[in-house]
């Protein structure tokens, strides 16, 4: 069994934590007396994703001309699991104490019977965790950035005998406890370890680097110098956010498992998902946190938009002989692979004509949906694309789906739409907001419902 076999661990080992308490608010007596009944309180709130408390600013404006402000810091939770990585399957370790070395004000917690833990109230920034348990070597993590709630932190704890056994099995030198020991798993965004990454640590800490090239085996640095160092990772097709700070200490295990940024992968086909693969299509990020990323489909019609920050993305696809195509909005927090369809102008015109629809307008946009039965994947004949009663939809035409053509909403004004699919005898599909429609372009997706 590998020293750090992380792929067996659950992605979310704990339930949603309790919300942090809101601090009390106090107004100056003088301002309250002056303003009396005319006193007005305005709340401005930026609420973070998930549980975080948010940034709350109280502006008490009144006849006194002054304002009282109270800022409640944005805080997050970091949850995960303390594990014995030498067991198969991986087992949690109960009773370990986990703390945030970087913020002593964060209350330390104890891992539960399954090894799970939740640290609450960490401010945004760079943090390092520490895990201790009598009879096992203390472990500290690499310094990782917290900008939202973290649910998949892993902290292994080992006995001295386990450490010595694992190092010997890999031909590594014995660990001199007066020097540093570092274990690394370079993870895909999905949590799958990559054994063949290029590891750079600056300045050089010396020691012996042991790397088998297998994802199941950790990359280990034995007998490294003591101090702070910068870790960088590189591998084709993946991007990590480093450099990461490593705090090597004598007699303490340092562990890192950084995840790569997510990739938006896919295939491009002509007209339908069963159509011919399209090589040489240019795929680019149209909207999302990371812009300027492009990819060209290979002979298998594959593309990969690499190293995107987590968020919601829309891609645009262009190829000679096809209408420019816009993807459905896609939430991206790990590697995602989708099939994308691009439509020749003659094909769209033929779909419209066969359904008795109007001519295709180059000044308007269009939505094509491959509507399928969720239970079987069967084509839903007669399914339609619905956009609601909005001004941009006035004058658009609905072309029902057939075995030979998807459901199409033709000639929409450019803009953002709330879209869902409808079929007789079924509940409507869940609606998707902010679907992009562009002049002379087709927005495509498949919806199973």
Q: Of all residues in the chain, what percent carry a pLDDT higher than 90?
A: 79
Q: Is residue 49 included in any domain, yes or no?
A: no
| Assigned domain for 427 exists | yes
**Mean pLDDT, residues 123-146 taken together:** 97
Domain boundary among 235, 256, 277: 256
Tokens of 175: 């660990």
Do 214 and 112 share a structural domain?
A: yes
247 with 269, same domain: the answer is no
Residue that wins the pLDDT comparison between 43 and 76: 76
Same domain, 100 and 244: yes
**CB-facing half-sphere around the CA of 217: CA atoms within 13 A:** 18
CATH code of the domain covering residue 187: 2.60.40.1120
Name the pLDDT band for 87 (thresholds 50, 70, 90). confident
pLDDT of 440 higher than 90: yes
Single pTM value for the model: 0.80
Backbone angles phi, psi at 3, to 5 degrees: -60, -40
Confidence band of 88 (pLDDT split at 50, 70, 90): confident
pLDDT digit string, tens, across residues 212-221: 999 989 999 9
Q: What is the pLDDT of residue 65?
A: 54
Are the beta carbons of 399 and 352 closer than 8 angstroms?
yes
Is 55 part of a structural domain of the chain?
no
- Amino acid 52: pLDDT: 37
50 lies in some domain: no
Residues 268 and 249 in one domain: no
Do 439 and 358 fall into the same domain? Answer: yes
Name all contacts of 348-357 with Cβ < 8 Å and 24+ positions apart.
348/323, 348/408, 348/442, 351/399, 351/405, 351/406, 351/408, 352/397, 352/399, 352/408, 352/410, 354/402, 354/404, 354/405, 355/399, 355/400, 355/402, 355/405, 355/408, 357/397, 357/399, 357/408, 357/410
Structural domain that includes position 218: 6-14+76-256
- Mean pLDDT, rounded, of the chain: 87
User: Mean pLDDT, to the nearest integer, of 298-318?
Assistant: 97
Taking residues 268-274, report their average pLDDT. 95
Q: Is residue 39 part of a domain?
A: no
Do 194 and 286 reside in the same domain of the chain? Answer: no
Q: How many structural domains does the chain have?
A: 2
Residue 10 pLDDT greater than 70, yes or no = no
Residue 57 lies in a domain: no
Are residues 247 and 326 located together in one domain of the fold?
no
pLDDT digits (tens, 9 = 90+) for 57-67: 433 344 455 55
pLDDT of 331-377, one tens digit each?
A: 999 999 999 999 999 999 999 999 999 999 999 999 999 999 999 99
CA pair distance 420, 428, nearest whole angstrom: 7
* Cβ atoms 432, 394 nearer than 8 A: no
Residue 113 belongs to some domain of the structure: yes
Domain boundary among 256, 279, 314: 256
Q: Are residues 211 and 325 in the same domain?
A: no
pLDDT at position 53 is 39
37 in a structural domain: no
Nearest CA to 257 out of 267, 246, 248 is that of 246
* Cα–Cα dist 377/414, whole Å: 31
Q: Is pLDDT of 264 > 50?
A: yes
Q: Which of 240, 256, 272 is the last residue of a domain?
A: 256
Q: Are residues 228 and 345 in the same domain?
A: no
Same domain? For 302 and 396 the reply is yes
Asked whether residue 30 carries a pLDDT value surpassing 50, the answer given is no
d(CA 60, CA 34): 12
By the 8 A CB rule, do 328 and 308 touch?
no
**Quick one: 240 and 275 in the same domain?**
no
53 C-beta neighbours (distance < 10 Å), count: 19
Task: Report, as an integer, the average pLDDT of 103-126.
Answer: 96
CA 80 – CA 127 distance, rounded (Å): 14
Q: For residues 371 and 7, which has the higher predicted lDDT (pLDDT)?
A: 371
Q: Are residues 201 and 270 in the same domain?
A: no
């Amino acid at each position: 069994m590998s020293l750090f076999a992380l792929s067996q661990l659950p992605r979310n080992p704990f339930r949603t934590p309790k919300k942090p308490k809101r601090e009390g608010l106090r107004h100056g007596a003088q301002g309250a007396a002056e303003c009396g009944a005319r006193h007005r309180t305005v709340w401005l709130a930026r609420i973070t994703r998930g549980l975080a408390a948010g940034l709350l600013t109280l502006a008490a404006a009144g006849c006194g001309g002054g304002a009282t402000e109270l800022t409640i810091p944005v805080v997050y939770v970091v949850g995960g699991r303390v594990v014995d990585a030498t067991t198969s399957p991986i087992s949690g370790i109960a009773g370990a104490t986990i703390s945030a070395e970087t913020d002593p004000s964060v209350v330390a917690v104890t891992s539960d019977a399954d090894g799970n833990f939740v640290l609450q109230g960490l401010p945004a920034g760079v943090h390092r965790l520490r895990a201790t348990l009598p009879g096992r070597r203390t472990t500290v993590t690499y310094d990782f950035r917290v900008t939202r709630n973290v649910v998949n932190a892993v902290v292994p704890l080992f006995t001295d005998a386990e450490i010595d056994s694992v190092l010997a099995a890999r031909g590594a030198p014995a660990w001199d406890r007066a020097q540093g020991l570092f274990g690394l798993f370079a993870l895909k965004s999905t949590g799958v370890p990559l054994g063949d990454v290029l590891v750079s640590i600056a300045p050089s800490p010396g020691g012996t680097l042991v790397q088998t090239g297998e994802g199941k085996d950790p990359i280990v640095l034995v007998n490294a110098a003591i101090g702070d160092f910068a870790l960088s990772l590189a591998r084709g097709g993946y991007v990590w956010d480093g450099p990461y700070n490593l705090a090597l200490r004598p007699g303490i295990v340092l562990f890192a498992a950084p995840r790569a940024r997510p990739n938006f992968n896919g295939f491009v086909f002509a007209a339908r998902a069963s159509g011919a693969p399209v090589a040489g299509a240019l795929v680019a990020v149209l909207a999302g946190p990371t812009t300027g990323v492009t990819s060209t489909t290979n002979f298998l019609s594959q593309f990969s938009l690499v190293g995107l920050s987590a968020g919601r993305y829309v891609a645009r696809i262009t190829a000679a002989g096809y209408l420019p195509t816009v993807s459905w909005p896609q939430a991206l927090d790990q590697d995602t692979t989708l099939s994308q369809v691009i439509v020749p102008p003659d094909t769209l015109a033929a779909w419209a004509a066969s359904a008795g629809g109007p001519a295709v307008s180059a000044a308007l946009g269009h939505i094509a949906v491959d509507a399928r039965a969720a239970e079987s994947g069967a084509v839903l004949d007669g399914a339609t694309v619905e956009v609601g009663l909005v001004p941009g939809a006035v004058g658009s035409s609905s072309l029902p789906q057939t075995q030979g053509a998807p459901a199409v909403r033709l000639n929409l004004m450019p803009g953002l739409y709330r879209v869902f699919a409808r079929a007789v005898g079924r509940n409507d599909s869940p609606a998707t907001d902010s679907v992009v429609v562009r002049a002379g372009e087709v927005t495509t997706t498949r919806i199973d419902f």
